Amino acid sequence: MAVRSAVMGAFLNVKINASGLNDKAFVAEVLAEGAEIERKTREEEKIILEIVNTKINN
């Protein structure tokens, strides 16, 4: 959960800073990459929590 928070915070910072850039193609690329990293982070967190909860409940 801490990793998810770090990734989301970093991506929010990227979005804030990207809003001031003029190169819209670059901004779109960076935001797409950040969104994918955030998506993967959420997926991995879900997997980790499932593993931990399975071990706790056994």
Q: Return the SS3 of 20.
A: coil
Residue 25 has a pLDDT of: 97
Q: CA of 4: how far to CAs of 19, 25, 37, 46, 51, in Å? A: 23, 27, 10, 10, 17
pLDDT tens for residues 1-58?
Answer: 899 999 999 999 999 999 999 999 999 999 999 999 999 999 999 999 999 999 999 7
Residue 1 has a pLDDT of: 82
**Short-list 43, 3, 58, CA closest to 11:** 3
Residue 31 has a pLDDT of: 98
pTM (2 decimals)?
0.84
Residue 48 has a pLDDT of: 96
Number of domains in the chain: 1
Q: Which residues span the domain enclosing 31? A: 2-57
